[in-house]
Amino acid sequence: MEYIRVTKENLEKEHICCAISNDNDVQVSSKKSWLADRFDDGLVFLKSVERGKCFIEYIPAVNAWNPIEASGYMYIDCLWVSGSFKGHGYSNDLLEECIRDSKAKDMKGICILSSAKKKPFLADPSFLKHKGFSVCDEADNGIQLWFYPFFDDAPVPRFKECAKHPHISQDGYILFYTNQCPFNAKYVPLVEKTAAEAGVPFKAIKISTKEEAQNAPSPITTYALFIDGKYETNEQMNDKRFLKLLSSQKAKEKANK
């Protein structure tokens, strides 16, 4: 497999693996804009030359859009290999290049979000364990921080306290999100419209700066949905999925009466 690194210079002409569609579509433009602003912070986006979901995105943890304390580490935003690319060792290729690059930049190790059991949009814990990663911290909602130190006495990364116990004081459906995930630009307005039509209190809070992200009330900042103050999910919603969630919540409320 041949890979290419997306940079400021080639960003406009290269396809973005996690948003393969017309460049005029809002999800593509929002992701490319987000990437363009991160390159100066050390972000690396390495992808297959073939069109498809086969890429890795990583950044020095001090500049990561997550509430973690991992000075000296590299943080992997996303490692995604799917479809016909699965089963060929491409995940190994991408991770090994991240490790090589991180060592060349004198990093102390690598960290990434996952969970005890595979969750949507998070790294596969079985793959991480196979590659030598281990859990170094866990939030109350089951989101785990995994790390791969490059030497035995490397400091251990951890979540900030604001993310360790995910909870907010606001009632209703509250969504925190960023443009790191391209599909938010498309689906968040759709869910806002669906909630309004259903008469459900819903508020979308866009995290627009690194500082806001690093002090967010959830380990995951790309998409974190809270219901009446309690963390619910990081799984992106479209209109049908959101309506299904509303139905499920109504059933729970009825059962608890």
In the chain, where the domains are located: 3-160, 163-256
**Topology (CATH) of 163-256:** Glutaredoxin (3.40.30)
> What is the band of 99 on the pLDDT scale with cuts at 50, 70, 90?
very high
Q: What is the pTM of this model?
A: 0.94
Q: What is the pLDDT of residues 10-46, one digit of tens each?
A: 999 988 876 655 666 888 889 999 999 999 999 999 9
Question: Cα(84)–Cα(220) distance, rounded to whole angstroms?
Answer: 28
**Topology (CATH) of 3-160:** Aminopeptidase (3.40.630)
Q: What is the pLDDT of residues 168-192, one digit of tens each?
A: 999 999 999 999 999 999 999 999 9
Average of per-residue pLDDT across 127-156: 97
